[in-house]
Structure formats: structure tokens, C-alpha cells
Structure 1
Amino acid sequence: MPVVPLQLETPEIAIAAAGGAVVRRSLLPSGVRVLTESVPGAVSASVGFWVPVGSRDEREDALGATHFLEHLLFKGTPTRSAFDIAVAFDEVGGEHNAVTTKEHTCYYAKVRDRDVPMAIDVLADMIVSSVLDAEEFERERDVILDELAMADDDPADVAGERLAELVHGEHPLGRPIGGSPASIREVSRDRVAEHYREHYGPGDVVVTVAGAVDHDRIVALLQDALHRYGWSLGTGAPRPRRASDPAAPGAGGLVVVDRPLEQVNLMIGMPGIVAGDPRRGALAVLNAVLGSGMSSRLFQEVRERRGLAYAVYSYSSGYSDAGLMSLAAACAPRKAIEVAELMGAELERLVEGVSADELRRAKGQLAGGSALALEDSDARMSRLGRAELTLGELADIDAALERIDAVTDADVRSLAAELAGGPRSIAAVGPAVDGYDRLVVPATASGDASAPRGTVEPAA
């Protein structure tokens, strides 16, 4: 199939996809959008209720409220207790959970085909009529504080959060998804409830279902559940998608979190490209060549040839109006500067080009990985959600792989030059090491010694 635009005002879309799958999309009168992918031979289905609110959408007096709310929606409705919600999925061998990101929240479940009506009913009840009980709120506050403490014990998590702050600067994308211990202690139930009322409405919600599904039946089940739990079926419209004009990145900098660890968790980052950038295929190929897999340049140079680190890789994150490219490693403190220099050098070496063999391997890796991922209905369900909320278009695997196959050495070189030429930040967690500062590239001017270089956070 070609790439199909998902216009917000289009009431019905039907797409014949690869492998005999059929994707359908309906815009309900209330403004709710429903996308399904019927997969031949499937005996289970994944259901996702998506809301386009993430940590970037929070007010200063409610940092962490989106993630807090994600927890609370599992704590009961007027017709179900938290235990009832848990039992509903456990007794049929299903899976259910939720995820909060910087730009959306998703409540999801995976069940046998016969249990899809139950999954839709329970998730709809949670989305529409959560009670946000005051006692549950206070209990969950402590649970979230424990979750934040657990993340703070993970040096890779800490480095990732610090890097996002440096690369995104003052942009809300630089904030941690879960808030801070201080913000969670301070936020009130009333403020979280206000956040719920503001962002959880028919025009916000997207429902995606993939696997053993019948679209018309899914729509009927969803309409019935949403109406029973309190939403009007009347006239509404979907909320517009986020603007995609690239936001100004941070200036580049350095943060060292001094901790008495055996290793340094080291991340080098720079502004990437937005999620909908036409060059995202080139970025996928670049990342595969640079640091995804055991044949990548980072793995081969840093680990295999020099034995400097066990873990070394690269990754990218794309948002509606910003992006982040990161190179990461964990190594002994005495090797940290050499590893950091090598990672930066490998990025810069991509500007010189990639070989035909590297290009072939990268495209093969991406093609195989994409095909294997679509064996899982969760991946298909998530793909539909991303297409509707962020990209505004849907391409099946054949069209996506055509984009990848069209990527040339020149495309990779051009994008590598842009990434390598931007401001470069470093976040390191572990024993403090001298020398990181000379590897930072501020946005003001490359090598400008007067530019701010960063901070060292002392060991607690």
C-alpha cells in the first residue's frame, strides 16, 4: 500500500496492508478515533487506549502529574475496585499495563480474541470514570516516590535524564517523565484531577486494536462502553496534532554525577530530528551503522578491537518538534575519556561515508527487525497509535522498507554532518573524571572556552 495520510476530518479509511492484513480507521461522532488491524491467523489481540498528554504538557505546579495519573487510573472506578481491574485480566491470562512518555500516555492490554470485549470494557471504564480516590492517591504517592528512587539507583537512567536536560535545554521535553521527588510530594489530588479533566476527553482519545479483530464489532463495543461509563456519543472533533516546527535545542553542556560506582555510565548527545522528518529512514540506517548491533562501528571499535567497554551503543528519540541522538557506553573510570573520544570520532567518521557492505547490512537489519516485530500484535497496535497521534500518516511494512531501501550513502553523510556539527552534550554518572569538558561542543561557538561547560553533582 502507499503511504496513507490520516486526515483528522476523514470519517472512514480502509487500507489493504502487507500479508493480507486490513487496517481500518473510524472517526466517531464524539471525536474518538478508532484504528484496527485485522491480522490473518491471529488468535489474540492487543488493545491500546491512547491519550496525547505527556510530561511535556504539565504545568509547573503539577510536574509528574501525567505519570501519577497513569497509576491512579488502575485504582478504581464507581463500578470496579483496583482488585476487580487486576482480576479481570489475571483470570483470563491476559496482560495489562500502561506507559507514560513525554508526549502521550497509553493504557493497554493483550488478551485472547474471545476476551477483547472485556478488555475494551475495563479500559474504557478506567479512562472515562476513574474516581481518583483520596486514600489511594496518598498510597500511590509513596509508591511513585519508591519508583523514582529505584530509577535514581540506575546510573543509566540517571545519565539519560541528565542528557535530555542538556540537549533539550529549557524545552519541556527536557523534564523527567515521572517528575521529581519534590514535585510528587507537593502535587495535590485536586491538581491531578484537574489534569485528568483537562486531557481525558473524547476528542483526545485514540483506540488502537491489532490481531484477531473485526473493526465494526470493535467500534460497536467501544461506543457502548464509552456511553455507559459517561461520555456523550454526540458531535465532537479530535484534538489537533502537535505542531511539528522544530523547537530550539539546548546549548550543549556537561553534567557529571559523582557516585562511588565501579563504572562510569557515559552518554554523549546532540539534537536529532523530529519524529515526522522525511529523513527518519536515513537516521535509522545511520544509527544501525553507528551503534545498533554487534557489527556496528561503535561495538567493533570500542569493544571488539580495543576492549574498552562491555556495553556501547547508540539510539535516537524523535518527538513532534524535537529529537535527540545519543551515544552511550559503560566502562571503567580510567577508560572513560578514551571511550568518549572514540564515540565522538565514530560519529564524525560517518560524515566521510559508509561502505556498500555497511549500507546493505544496515538495511537488512532494519528490514528483518521490522518483520519480526510485526509478529507481535503489541508492535502493530503501537504502530497504529504512533501513526495517528504523531505522524499523521500510515505506511505498512512494505512502504516503510521502501523508504529504508531508498536511503543512500549521501543521505547518511548529510545527516551525519548535521548531527556532528550541532551542540554536543555529555552526561556521566560514576566516579568523577577530568577531561570531559574539552569534548563538549557548545552551541555558541565550537571550542569557545568562555561558553558554560557544565556542572559536577557531588556524591550524596
Structure 2
Amino acid sequence: MNGAVEFPLDLPELSFHAAGESLVRRTVLPSGVRIVSEHVPGSRSLTIGYWVAVGSRDEAPGHFGSTHFLEHLLFKGTKQRTALDIAIAFDSVGGEHNAMTAKEYTCYYAKVQDRDLLMAVEVLTDMITSSLLDPVEFENERGVILEELAMADDDPADVANGRFFEAIMGDHALGRPIGGSPDTIRAATHAAVLEHYRANYRPQDLVVTVAGAVDHDVLVAAVTRSLALAGWDLSVFAPPVGRRSGSPVALSQGAPVTIVQRPLEQANILMGFPGLLATDDRRVTMSVLNSIFGGGMSSRLFQEVREKRGLAYSVYSFAPGYSDAGLFGMYAGCTPAKAGQVAELMLGELHRISEHGVTADEMKRAAGQLSGASALALEDSDTRMSRLGRAEITLGEFIDLDEALRRLARVTAEDVRVLAAELSAGPLSIAAVGALDPNIFAAVMATSVRP
């Protein structure tokens, strides 16, 4: 493989070898179902995921929380299987199964031995296509989800993260909480969730990805058979749903500073700026910047805030990207009285990179960290399965380890400095949870206004 491989939506079959001699194959059925596999030599297990490109951002008024509700309800039983049957199917073979709701997709997945592929396909297909969405179970899960949200609300880092997204994204749908809020979950109706299910769980929405010990032909046959037995008419032609637009949207900043007062021993601080889209060519530059700035124990944030000054135990940076927006953030947990000082130090380090750049040693360490972490991550079939889903749903192209390393090698120190300058010129947002003086971030907000 030399360069990225595009995943056109109108191409029925695609096959190529990737780094490490893995074999990637992709089939688009006439019904719009997409099936992507990566056979990894020497593997004895596999991870399988059933994806729909619908997340919390896609919920319309009256449907807020529906995506998260469905994630729960699809485990609660089908026409053929009870919730216990679903659990036993995986537990009895030592497998794992779960689901995740994100802002732009939902995935139901399992990890099993290679010999249990057909079982995993049958059970996951049954869940996706034939969930009962029982009204009694719906009310039970309402209580479960409210408890889940209450648990998150007891975690100050989770609360700060939610407020931070609201601050950066403003009124954009990406600013809404993935799991919904207690109010939206209480207001959700069975009819609305059922409508959301029927509108978004169709053949043209479905992506199946498998990585590990998988034979693609066996996989396609199993998925096709199980979908047909579930009653999906695969003979009706339907193109796959289109990918989201990769055009950036203008974000209207929420409150620049949000402080949630709580009587805690530690303040949880999140601060940052709008960032890059998931498809931006500079994502690899962002990875290098993130590594140098706050991505490890040798990073500037860790060394300056923790090692030199002892002001925090946990301090790092992060940079999620979505189809039309992104953010660049930094986190620290510290004594409330030191929150202003820590915030100033974190912003100051970013300003120093934007003005003076990074060193050759830092570039070398970042390249080593990123290349090594990428290689180690691919030892896990979960990571490979998720990479296939991201390639199909978000990127529209597959990037293997060799291509990722080639792109990484092209990043220069000046690229990193320019990106840091661009980010730090954006509107700064701060979200914090703790027993904090309301004016503690006034100084750092003043320094964020650059001439």
C-alpha cells in the first residue's frame, strides 16, 4: 500500500494489502450495507462492530437523548432473544460485547474468538434489526440512564468537560451532551425513540467492520444471511447514506468562562480554543503539537506544571475533531487557590510555542511517541476495527501505519508553530468545577487577547 486508499461509496468491491501484510477488503451491497474487514495474520480473535453514522448531534428537537436510549434498549431483547440470552451468548464463549454512543455515530461491538464469528454476527444483527423496544423496558432504562447521568454529574471532570464543549461549540449541536441531560431523558417518549430507530437503522445506514482473524467472504455471507433472515429486504437498491460535509462551520462561542461551584478539594479546569476538523490535512500536525504540548510525561505541560512546580497531579492536552468543527483543549486538576496560576501557565506554554516554536529534540520525541503508540495500538483488534469504522464513516479513506508514518515525517517545526499560533489566536474558553473565586481567571482571560 502506497498512500491512502479511498473508499468511494459507489464502488462495490475493494481489496488491498496494508502495513504488516494485513488484507483489507470492502464490499458495498446493492442495499447500501457496507462491510469492511481487515485480516491480520497470526490473529486468533476478532473484533466486530455494527455502526450507524448517527450520534447525539443528529437528534432533532423532541428526540434529544434518543441515540443514547437506543444504545441501551438494543440490549434489552428481540423477537428471538431475551436480554439474558444476548448476555449469555457472549459470556458463554468468553467474549465481550458493548456499545458506544458518540457525537457523530453509534457502534455496537463484540470481541470473540475466530470460531465465534458467526454467533457474533447473528446476535448483533438480531439486536440491530429486531429490537423489541419494549415500552416497559423503555421505562426501566429511563431510570438506568438517569442513574448513569447522576454518576457522571458526581464526577467533576465529567461536568467540566460538558461545560467546556458547551463553551467552545456554543449553540452548535456538537455542544450538546452525548448522553442527553436529565431533563431530556425524563421528557423522552417511547414514540420518539421508536421513530428515531426506524429513521436511522436501515440497510443504507449500516456499516459492519471486522478486524482480526476474519475471512471476508465468510463474513459477507454471514451478514447477508442474517440480515435477510431478520426481514431486511436486501434486493432493493439504495446507495449508502452520504458522508457528512467536511466544510467547517462558524462557531458562536458560549460563555467564555463557566465556573460550577462545588465544595471540592480540587478544581478541575478545562480551557482551550476551536480546533481542526477530522478531515483537515493538518491533523497530523495537530498530533505532533499535542504530543509536545501535553501528550506525555515529557510534554511541556507535564514538565512545567507538575514536575517543576508541583501544582497538579494530572495535566494534559487533547484535540478531538469532528466533521465540521473541532477543539484544542488542556486540562489540569489543582488546588482551587492555584487555579488561576495553573491556567496562566498552560496558556503561557501555548503562547511560547506559537511565538518561539519547538526544538528539534521535541520534534524527534514526538515522532517517536506517535509512531510507537500507533504501532502498539494496532496490536489490539479493537483499534483496527475502530480504524475501519472511522475510515468508512468519517474520513472516506483508509490510512495504514506506513502512510501515517510518512505523513508524520513531513511535519516540520514551523508547521507546529504556525498551528499553535492559529489556535491561540482563537477565542479562549474556560470551564472549571470547584470551590473557586468567580474572578480567578480574569488575568488569564486578559492575556488571551493577543495584539
What TM-score, normalized by structure 1, do the two folds share? 0.95
1:378 and 2:379 equivalent?
no
Residue of structure 2 in register with 1:398 after alignment: 402
Deviations 1:367-387 (CA, angstroms, capped at 9, x unpaired): 000000000000000000001
Residue of structure 2 in register with 1:90 after alignment: 91
2: CA distance, partners of 1:396 / 1:427:
36
2: CA distance, partners of 1:361 / 1:398:
18
Deviations 1:206-226 (CA, angstroms, capped at 9, x unpaired): 000000000011000000000
Alpha-carbon offset, residue 447 of structure 1: 7.8
Equivalent runs, 1:230-249 vs 2, <5 Å: 230-234=231-235, 235-249=237-251
Alpha-carbon offset, residue 441 of structure 1: 7.1
Residue of structure 2 in register with 1:359 after alignment: 363
Q: Secondary structure at the match of 1:8?
A: coil
Alpha-carbon offset, residue 354 of structure 1: 0.6
Aligned residue identity for 2:37 = T
1:414 and 2:415 equivalent?
no
Equivalent runs, 1:20-169 vs 2, <5 Å: 20-169=21-170
Residue of structure 1 in register with 2:342 after alignment: 339
Deviations 1:256-297 (CA, angstroms, capped at 9, x unpaired): 000000000001021000000000000000000000110000
Residue of structure 2 in register with 1:455 after alignment: none
Please give the root-mean-square deviation of Cα atoms over the aligned residues, in Å.
1.3
Aligned residue identity for 1:208 = T
1: CA distance, partners of 2:409 / 2:180:
40
Q: Secondary structure at the match of 2:193?
A: helix
Residue of structure 1 in register with 2:230 after alignment: 229
Q: Which runs of 5 or more structure 2 residues have no equivalent in the other structure?
A: none
Equivalent runs, 1:124-273 vs 2, <5 Å: 124-234=125-235, 235-251=237-253, 253-273=256-276
1:436 and 2:441 equivalent?
yes
1: CA distance, partners of 2:450 / 2:295:
29
8 Å CA contact 1:48–1:207 kept in 2: the answer is yes
Alpha-carbon offset, residue 435 of structure 1: 2.4
1: CA distance, partners of 2:262 / 2:91:
41
8 Å CA contact 1:55–1:102 kept in 2: the answer is yes
8 Å CA contact 2:425–2:450 kept in 1: the answer is no
Q: Which runs of 5 or more structure 1 residues have no equivalent in the other structure?
A: 449-460
Alpha-carbon offset, residue 72 of structure 1: 0.3
Aligned residue identity for 1:256 = I
1: CA distance, partners of 2:140 / 2:114:
35
What TM-score, normalized by structure 2, do the two folds share? 0.97
Q: Secondary structure at the match of 2:204?
A: coil
Aligned residue identity for 1:386 = R
2: CA distance, partners of 1:39 / 1:313:
33
Alpha-carbon offset, residue 250 of structure 1: 2.9
8 Å CA contact 1:159–1:429 kept in 2: the answer is yes
Aligned residue identity for 1:28 = L
Aligned residue identity for 2:271 = I
Alpha-carbon offset, residue 410 of structure 1: 1.0
Identity across the alignment (%)? 59
8 Å CA contact 1:254–1:437 kept in 2: the answer is no
Aligned residue identity for 2:337 = R
Deviations 1:172-210 (CA, angstroms, capped at 9, x unpaired): 000000111011011100100000001111111100000
Alpha-carbon offset, residue 303 of structure 1: 0.3
2: CA distance, partners of 1:199 / 1:348:
44
1: CA distance, partners of 2:343 / 2:390:
33
Aligned residues between the structures: 446
8 Å CA contact 1:72–1:137 kept in 2: the answer is yes
